[in-house]
Amino acid sequence: MKNFEDFLKKLEASKSAVEKGVQKGVHKAGILVEGDAKSICAVDTGQLRTSINTQVETKGTKTVANIGTNVEQGIYIEFGTGQQGDQSVPHNLNWKGMKPQPFLRPAFDHNVNSGNVDVIIKDEISKELRRL
């Protein structure tokens, strides 16, 4: 019976280790995407670049990294405006506007499609499990 109790304790510890690894991995992956977004965003005053940040949120078993900006021009830079804007989002088409200069979506897509995000999260889970 003692072996089974030890097994259950290790199983519970493994669950906690995986959750902790996921949280750390999502945070590190978010920071990576943030850095890439900062390196490719359009720069005039530097306000947009400086404002890009990562916030990690865990609700239950779900951990999410929110990478974005709180400056007003961010959405206009990312999606463009007017007739030249990205047509996947609503625009006032009564004027020529400006072309999109996306920075968040390409940074995210690159790191997901290249496997960087998966590698980081798997590495962090492995590190936590090795500590058991």
Number of Cβ within a 10 Å radius of residue 71: 15
Decide if pLDDT at 1 tops 80.
Answer: no
Decide if pLDDT at 102 tops 80.
Answer: yes
Mean pLDDT of 44-72: 96
For the entire predicted model, the pTM comes to 0.90
Mean pLDDT of 9-21: 91
What whole-number distance in Å separates Cα of residue 68 and Cα of residue 34?
Answer: 8
pLDDT of residue 44: 94
- The residue among 106 and 61 whose pLDDT is bigger is 106
